[in-house]
Amino acid sequence: MMFTFCSKRKQAGMLLLLSVVFFPILATPAHAHRVNVFAWVEGDTVHTESSFAGGREVKSGKITVYDDKTGEKLLEGQTDDKGEFSFRLPRHAPLRIEMVAGMGHKNEWIVPLTEITAAGGSVAASSDEAPGETDSTPAPQIADASMAEVDAARIEKAVEKVMDRKLAPVVRMLAESRQHRTTLQDVIGGIGYIVGMAGLGIYIHYRRKIKELNPR
């Protein structure tokens, strides 16, 4: 009896030691071993940034861009030393950006059509006013419009350009914040689940034992 009591105290001491060792590390925002990729649209350019969880950038990781609707492969590229890769919008469609970082690491990011449209990123807008582009670009209006309307269109374009530039960091930050982050809640929740499962195992064990001891 004395011995079991003693060993329990030792076990409690061990647990305490473990938690003392682990807690300061927990308190730092560490996210490990997952590759992250996120992308944002700025005008007619899509920027991507890839990093390993933990913050290290992915150097020369492989980026493949697909049309998310048709699944067609649009272009391929490699990240630079900062983990960045940018490309011109290949077409006006939702994009799926796939990042393969080697060693079994892979992730993807979807750029929805609404985001591309909101950024003014129609393919036509980049190459000088291609015909057939009818949605809200001012091009067709210019043809048969008065001077005032032309001015309005120009102003609109100029404002859009400046806004793109000014908002780019904000859009980037929003995209970045949409990534999954490991929080302290996740960690504590996971430990709780494990403790609960161990408790359940012990409970079942004891129920069986009690039934064995007084069979009725």
Partner 1 sequence: MHISEGILSGPVLLSGAALAAVGTGIGLKSLDYDRIARAGILAASFFVASLIHVPIGPSSVHLLLNGIVGLLLGWGAVPALLVALLLQGVLFQFGGITTLGVNTVIMAAPAVIAYYLFGPWARRPDAIGMAAAFLVGFCSVLLSGVIAAAALMLTGEGFLEVAGLILAAHIPVMVIEGIVTLFCVMFLRKVQPSLLDHR
Give the residues lining the site for partner 1 (CB under 8 A): 7, 10-11, 13-15, 17-18, 22, 25-26, 30-35, 52-54, 56, 100, 102-107, 180, 182, 186-187, 189-191, 193-195, 197-199, 201-202, 205
Distance CA 175, CA 116 (A): 13
Q: How far is the CB of 154 from partner 1 (least distance, A)?
A: 47
Residue placing its CB nearer to partner 1 in the complex, 84 or 133: 84
State in angstroms the smallest separation of the CB of 10 from partner 1.
5
Q: Are 67 and 74 in contact (CB under 8 A)?
A: yes
Give the other-Cβ count within 10 Å of 198's Cβ: 10
Q: Smallest distance from the beta carbon of 183 to partner 1, in angstroms?
A: 9
Tell the smallest beta-carbon distance from residue 57 to partner 1 (Å): 10
Contacts of 68 (CB under 8 A, 6+ apart): 93, 94, 95, 96, 110, 111
Contact 177, 26 (CB under 8 A): no
Nearer to partner 1, 26 or 170 (CB): 26
Task: Indicate the residue among 142 and 195 with the shorter CB distance to partner 1.
Answer: 195
Nearer to partner 1, 81 or 128 (CB): 81
Instruction: Please check whether residue 104 is in contact with residue 82, taking contact to mean a CB–CB distance below 8 angstroms.
Output: no
Shortest distance, CB of residue 202 to partner 1, whole angstroms?
Answer: 5
State which residue, 105 or 157, has the beta carbon closest to partner 1: 105
> DSSP for 70-105?
T--EEEEEE--TTSEEEEE--SSS-EEEEEEEETTE
CB 74 within 8 A of CB 66: yes
